[in-house]
Amino acid sequence: MKLKINREFLLRHLFSLAVFVVLGGWFGFDAFVRYPRSDARALYVSIEKSEPGDNVNLESFKAQKVRTQRLMASFALLAASLVGLHLLCVARFRFEFDDAGFSIGDRRFKYSDIKDVDRSKWEKKGVLTVLGDGFKIRLDAWHHIGVKEFHSAISENSNRTTR
């Protein structure tokens, strides 16, 4: 059986990715187009919803708001990059198993190659860590469909130390 990306996980992360990209675009538009083209007084009124006082430096206010929008755009696009990278890594992860053993990418292992299975996070989070000579894999049932079946296969085919 091949592990497949969990559809709910995929959709939630794609939605988050889209939200961060849209926010980054929105903040970026304000920072590079809308705010620089705006009159400083009009920008102040649109943001603060009041007329500026006599002691307000409108150009400094405008410059600060442009910097803030650039920073917000950067953070939103950074968050989008991190979510996208995580999603890509999960989607590209190749893991298969059958009655004889399992494969991680192009490497094949037998169940007897397993030295330790950490099940300490299995009940609460569906996370399983399998250790052996030359491999350490962390499988998350939220990320992939098939992890529960692999957990059962380990229990049936291995008498190794478990935590």
Residue 97: strand pairing partners: 102
Q: What is the pLDDT of residue 155?
A: 86
pTM for the whole thing? 0.85
DSSP string, 106-151: TEEEEGGGEEEEE-TTHHHH-EEEEEETTEEEEEETTTEETHHHHH
CA distance 114 to 101: 10
pLDDT tens digit sequence for 11-66: 999 999 999 999 999 999 999 999 999 999 999 999 999 999 999 999 999 999 99
Q: What backbone phi and psi angles, to 5 degrees, belong to 131?
A: -120, 145
CA distance 24 to 13: 16
